[in-house]
Amino acid sequence: MAKFAIGETVDNAADDHEVGKVIAVFPTDDGHFRYAVDMEGYGALQFFNEEKLVVHPC
């Protein structure tokens, strides 16, 4: 089961905790998940492994 859901706000833990919203979730061949995230200020989707994201504090 994926750690994050579509529509959830997340932080990029590896890069100064930039904020974004999960747009899509993709299972990988090895049983993990990758996420398409709309990061604020980029204008394009970025793709992250589950380990690179943390829940954004409300």
**43 inside domain:** yes
Chain-centre distance of CA 47, in angstroms?
7
**48 inside domain:** yes
**1 inside domain:** no
Give me the tens of pLDDT residue by residue for the chain, a chain 58 residues long.
899 999 999 999 887 778 999 999 999 999 999 999 998 877 889 999 999 999 988 7
**Overall pTM > 0.75:** yes
**31 inside domain:** yes
Token digits of residue 51:
């380990």
**20 inside domain:** yes
CATH of the domain at 45: 2.30.30
Provide the domain limits for residue 19.
Answer: 8-55
Instruction: Give the total number of structural domains in the chain.
Output: 1
Report d(CA 54, CA 45) in Å as an integer.
17
